[in-house]
Amino acid sequence: MPRTANIPALHSPPVLEEAGRRRTFAVISHPDAGKSTLTEALALYASVIKDAGVTHGKSSRHGTVSDWMGLEQERGISISSAALQLNHRGAVLNVVDTPGHADFSEDTYRVLAAVDFAVMLIDAAKGFEPQTLKLLAVCRRRGLPIITVINKWDRPGLEALDLIDGVAGRTGMAPVPLTWPAGRAGAFTGLFDLRSGEAVRLEAVRGGALPSLETPVPGGSGAMEGQWREALEEAELVADSHGEFDREAFHAARQTPVLFTAAAKNFGVRQLLDVLAELGPAPSARATAEGGHQPVDAGFSGFVFKVQAGQDAAHRDHIAFLRVCSGIFERGMILTNARLGRPFATKYAHRVIGRSREVIDVAWPGDIVGLVNAASLRVGDSLYATEPVRFPEIPHFAPELFTVARAADPGRYKQFRRGITQLEHEGVVQVLRSDRRGEQAPVLAAVGALQFEVAQHRMAGEFHAPATFEALPYTLAMHVDAKGSSLPETFRGGEIMHRSDGEALALFADRYKLAHFREDNPGVELTDIGA
C-alpha cells in the first residue's frame, strides 16, 4: 500500500514530515465494550508492545497495567497509563489512554483536549451506553473527528443497520461504513473492505493470541452469494442514505467512518489500523488562547493535559503529561511555563506506559511526553521554547459527585489546607468554598468516585493530613450568574459555592430542584459547565 497523500513527501522539513506521520487519538467507550482488548489487538498488529503492561482482559490485568499506587493495587485498576506509541505503514499512532470504568474521572475528559480524533467503540449487543454518550458529547463540543468501531460482532447483537441508524441519530454525523461484516452479529465469518472492494474470510488463531487468518474470497461481488451478497446489499443501502466516504467531511466531523470488529479474535483489526494510518487526521495548527493558530512547524510548544502524582511514596513523584503542539521536543531543553513566566528544565522526560518508563529524547507534534519532577506544572499549562504562546485552558467538566472534606485531626489543619490546595491545582478534584461552610470544610466535586478515593489516599499518604469525607446529596452543578444582584447562599434543595477561579456554581439535588430554582429566581442566569 503506498503512503497516503497526507503523509508529506521526503523533502519537507523534518518537523512537517514527522507531524504528518502522527495520528494522535483516544479510544472512547463504555466499560466492557472492549477498549483494552482492542488497544492490545492494535499493538499486536503493529508489533510494538512487548511487555509494556497492556494485558488481555480484566482478569489478568491486575498488577500488570500499573501498580505504582497502593490504591491501584487494591483495586486492580489503571490510573497511570498515558499513551502507547505504535508504528504502522509509515504512520506513528499515539493511542492516548482514557481512564474508564470505575476510574472514570475528569482526566478521562481532559485527554480529549490532547488528541486530534477519537475512536468510539460500541458493543454490538448494547449499542450506545451512558459513558460513551458523555464522552461523545465532549468530542462533539471540541469538534473532534470520530471513527466508529462496532465491536464484539462475534457475539449475538443488534442488527447492523439498526446500529448504523443509532450512530446517525446519536452523533449527528453521517455514518459511512468502511468495512461491513459478512454474517449477522454472532456469526462473524468474513469482512468486506469497502474501500478496496476486497472480501476476506476470517479465522481466529489461538483464540486471538495471533493475528487472524484472512483468506481472500474469489469471484468479486458479482459472483457472491448468501451472506456475502446480503452484506454487500446492506452496505450499499447505507451508502445510498448517508453518502460515500469523504475525507474532508470526516476531518470536519460531519461524517464518521464505521468499521466492524471482534477485537478478542483480532477480526477487522488490521483494517482499522490501516484506516487509522491512512485516513486519520494528522496534527494541525492549534488554536491559541489569543485567538490565533500555532502552526506545527513553529518553535517548540505544548500543553499539560494531565498531572499525576503520589505514585511513588518514597519520591515525591509528579509527572506532567504534555501534548506536543509544535516544533521539536528535545530532552534537556529549557522551556518557559507561560502561566508563571518561569523556566522549566526538561531533564527527565519519559514515555510512560503502565509501570514501564522509557526515556524520550526527541518528540514531535502529536506526541505525548511525561515530564518527571514536574511539581510546578498544572493541568492547562502551556510550555514553549522560544516564541511565547498560550493554549486555551482545558475547561472544567460538570461534576456529579460532591463531598465535604474535613481534617480528621484538627491539629493538622495546616497540612490539610496545603493538601487540598495542591489537589485543586493538579486538577485531581474541583474545590468549592462558601462563607457558610467556611475554609475548614471545603466541598470537593468530581465526575467520578475514583477522584475522591485518590484525594483521600493522597491526603493521608502524601500530605499527612487524613481527611474525612461526607457525601452531599447533590448530583448536578451549573454556572450561576445573578447579573449584578446578590445570590443566596442556600435555596430550596441546593446551595451556591465558589471555585477559586471566581466562578459561582449552584449545586442541585436533581433536575426538579433545578427547575424550582429557575422558577424562584427568574433573573438569575444558569449555564452548563464545560459548554
Site for ligand G4P in 151-170 (CB under 6 A): 151-152, 154-155
Site string for ligand G4P, 41-80 (x = CB under 6 A): ---------------xxxxx--------------------
SS3 call for 451 = helix
Q: What is the DSSP letter of 129?
A: -
Do 291 and 282 touch, CB atoms closer than 8 A? no
Q: What are the residues facing 273 on neighbouring strands?
A: none
Which of 15, 18, 22, 29 touches ligand G4P (CB under 6 A)?
A: 29
Between 57 and 169, CB nearer to ligand G4P: 57
Between 188 and 245, CB nearer to ligand G4P: 188
Number of Cβ within 10 Å of residue 129's Cβ equals 15
Between 35 and 323, CB nearer to ligand G4P: 35
Alpha-helical runs (H) found in 373-461: 413-426, 449-461
By CB under 6 A, tell whether 263 contacts ligand G4P.
yes
Q: Is 243 left (phi over 0), alpha (psi -120 to 50) or beta?
A: left
Q: What are the residues facing 318 on neighbouring strands?
A: 309
Which of 7, 15, 20, 34 touches ligand G4P (CB under 6 A)?
A: 34
For the CA atoms of 129, 132, 138, 140, the dihedral, rounded to the nearest 10 degrees, stands at -80
Laid out side by side, the sheet with 83-88 consists of: 83-88, 91-96, 22-28, 117-123, 146-151, 255-260, 174-177
Instruction: Report the nearest approach of ligand G4P to the CB of residue 272 (Å).
Output: 12
Instruction: Report the nearest approach of ligand G4P to the CB of residue 32 (Å).
Output: 4
By CB under 6 A, tell whether 129 contacts ligand G4P.
no
C-alpha cell at 484: 449584578
Length of the chain: 531
Instruction: Report the nearest approach of ligand G4P to the CB of residue 78 (Å).
Output: 10
Between 184 and 242, CB nearer to ligand G4P: 184
For the CA atoms of 504, 509, 512, 515, the dihedral, rounded to the nearest 10 degrees, stands at -10
Which of the ranges 26-34, 241-249, 273-281, 472-480 carries the binding residues for ligand G4P, by CB under 6 A? 26-34
Which of 21, 35, 134, 184 touches ligand G4P (CB under 6 A)?
A: 35
Between 57 and 197, CB nearer to ligand G4P: 57
Number of Cβ within 10 Å of residue 417's Cβ equals 16
Q: What is the DSSP letter of 161?
A: H
Q: Apex CA 297: angle with CA 291 and CA 301, to 5°?
A: 60
Instruction: Report the nearest approach of ligand G4P to the CB of residue 309 (Å).
Output: 25
Distance in Å from the first CA to the final CA of the chain: 42
Between 41 and 322, CB nearer to ligand G4P: 41
Between 261 and 434, CB nearer to ligand G4P: 261
The residue type of 121 is L
By CB under 6 A, tell whether 264 contacts ligand G4P.
yes
Instruction: Report the nearest approach of ligand G4P to the CB of residue 397 (Å).
Output: 21
By CB under 6 A, tell whether 36 contacts ligand G4P.
yes
Between 154 and 426, CB nearer to ligand G4P: 154
By CB under 6 A, tell whether 473 contacts ligand G4P.
no
Please state, in angstroms and rounded to a whole number, the distance separating the CA atoms of residues 302 and 279. Answer: 24
Site string for ligand G4P, 349-388 (x = CB under 6 A): ----------------------------------------
Tracing cell 460531519 back to the chain, one arrives at 254
Instruction: Report the nearest approach of ligand G4P to the CB of residue 36 (Å).
Output: 3
Instruction: Report the nearest approach of ligand G4P to the CB of residue 94 (Å).
Output: 18
The residue type of 128 is F
Between 37 and 179, CB nearer to ligand G4P: 37
Number of Cβ within 10 Å of residue 515's Cβ equals 12
Instruction: Report the nearest approach of ligand G4P to the CB of residue 85 (Å).
Output: 19
Number of Cβ within 10 Å of residue 489's Cβ equals 12
Tracing cell 501534548 back to the chain, one arrives at 323
Which of the ranges 170-178, 219-227, 262-270, 474-482 carries the binding residues for ligand G4P, by CB under 6 A? 262-270
Crossing angle of the two packed helices 160-171 and 130-142, in degrees rounded to 10: 50
CA distances from 272 to 4, 14, 20, 82, 114 (A): 15, 27, 19, 21, 21
Instruction: Report the nearest approach of ligand G4P to the CB of residue 138 (Å).
Output: 18
Which of the ranges 109-117, 133-141, 146-154, 507-515 carries the binding residues for ligand G4P, by CB under 6 A? 146-154
Between 62 and 425, CB nearer to ligand G4P: 62
Which of 3, 4, 6, 32 touches ligand G4P (CB under 6 A)?
A: 32
By CB under 6 A, tell whether 33 contacts ligand G4P.
yes
Closest residue by beta carbon to ligand G4P = 57
By CB under 6 A, tell whether 26 contacts ligand G4P.
no
Please state, in angstroms and rounded to a whole number, the distance separating the CA atoms of residues 396 and 452. Answer: 16
Residues contributing to the site for ligand G4P (CB under 6 A): 29, 31-37, 56-60, 101, 151-152, 154-155, 262-264
